[in-house]
Homo-oligomer: A and B are copies of this chain.
Amino acid sequence: MSDMDCSQNWLEALKWDDNGMIPAVSQDATSGRVVMFAWMNRESLQESIKTGNAVYWSRSRQRLWRKGEESGHVQKIRSVRADCDGDVLLLAVDQIGGIACHTGRESCFFLELQGDRWVAADPVLKDPKEIYSK
């Protein structure tokens, strides 16, 4: 681990992995809930900063993923932080609709380990069929 060199260009100061990716954690600025984890490449981070809305890189679809493009559940960025060694991002966001997860829950982190089982510990706020019916 070596600390980030903040004297460099802001984009190149970050430590992109061998695939040109960096993990990004998003946290609802109001509720404090960690709502999502996704990946960004340089293009998605630049577009996020430019537009003020979180844009990720979808590794499964191999394209830019403008969060909320189908669901309307856009993430308005309040701040972008990096960690000490510059290889992870943390976004404070206003989560439009109060739903980040494709299952209709506030947060993707709704599975809690209870004993030796994963239990869905948060309510579904909106039926995914309704979310993706457009």
Is A131's CB within 8 Å of the partner chain B? no
* B34 near A34: Cβ-Cβ < 8 Å: yes
- A6, A90, A121, most chain B CB atoms within 10 A: A90
Nearest residue (CB) in B for A83 is: B108
Copies in the complex: 2
A6 touching B117 by the CB < 8 A rule?
A: yes
Contacts of A105 in B (CB 8 A): 84
Interface string of A92-105 (1 = CB under 8 A from B): 00000000011101
A81 within 8 A of B: yes
Choose among A10, A37, A80, A119 the residue with the greatest number of B CB atoms under 10 Å from its CB: A37
Q: Which residues of B contact A25 (CB under 8 A)?
A: 25, 34, 37
CB pair B113 A49 closer than 8 Å: yes
A116 on interface, CB distance cutoff 8 Å? yes
Chain A contacts with B in 1-59, Cβ cutoff 8 A: 1, 3-4, 6, 9-10, 13, 23, 25, 27, 32, 34, 36-37, 49
Q: Is A81 touching B117 in the complex (CB atoms < 8 A)?
A: no
